[in-house]
Amino acid sequence: MRFLGVGCKMTYLSYFKGALWVPAIILPPLLVADALLPPAITFGEWEQFFPMCVLVFGVAAYFVFALWASRTVNRKTETEVARLVGWAPIIFMIFYGVSWILYGFIYLIGGKVAGFGLMVCWLAFISCLLLVECFFSIVIIVVYLAVRKFFDEPCRTVQASAMHHEKRTGLSLLTLFMLRGGHELCTKS
């Protein structure tokens, strides 16, 4: 969708990529702020903080997932991207599990038997993560459909009106845009 006169352009790709990267941008600063606000964690607790953020909250796995998904959606149609959003919670579990398994393997290489526990500990978080991920996938789809309904339908109406007007009067779409003040006319890109 493109809105002339407003200077705003939103396509399904830009919407879904934005929805994909917002958590990756917002979550790490929130976790750090939470650690620094009173009661702040002590220096020794920082050793526990980073594995907690990287593994339990899945920050590292989400960055890798977001990179993969950003590249994948470029080759997909709108329907395929919406379907991918529905499957995203299941696909993310692969990235989430691999990060735990790699971290456990690093522990094993370091001589710590606790690595075996880390390799399977991620399975305890699956049910909670799937619930949260499914909720946000549904929210992303519903918001997208609402935005598309409210902005796409008026665009089609104005576009049809513009084409009818151009056939009848010979005025171009740009002329019609200028006559209407530029804020009402939008075209699909």
What are the extents of the domains in the chain? 10-187
Residue labelled with tokens 């976790």 = 31
* Separation of alpha carbons 35 and 32, rounded Å: 5
pLDDT of residue 38: 79
Give residue 71's pLDDT band: very low, low, confident or very high (50, 70, 90): very high
pLDDT of residue 85: 92
Report the amino acid identity of residue 126.
I
Phi, psi at residue 3, to the nearest 5°? -110, 110
The whole-chain average pLDDT of the chain stands at 78
Per-residue pLDDT reduced to its tens digit, 83-123: 999 999 999 999 999 999 998 898 899 988 888 988 888 89
pLDDT of residue 176: 44
Give the E-state strand segments of the chain in sequence order. 2-3, 8-9, 186-187
With b for 16 or more beta-carbon neighbours within 10 A and e for fewer, the 152-185 pattern comes to eeebeebeeebeebeeeeeeebeebbeeeeeeeb
pLDDT of residue 132: 92
pLDDT at 127 over 70: yes
Per-residue pLDDT reduced to its tens digit, 21-61: 999 999 888 888 887 887 777 766 767 777 777 788 888 89
pLDDT of residue 93: 94
Instruction: Tell me if the pTM is above 0.85.
Output: no
Task: Average the pLDDT over each of 62-66, 77-81, 88-92, 155-159 and give the range with the smallest value.
Answer: 155-159
pLDDT of residue 175: 47
Token pair of 101 as six digits = 């398994």
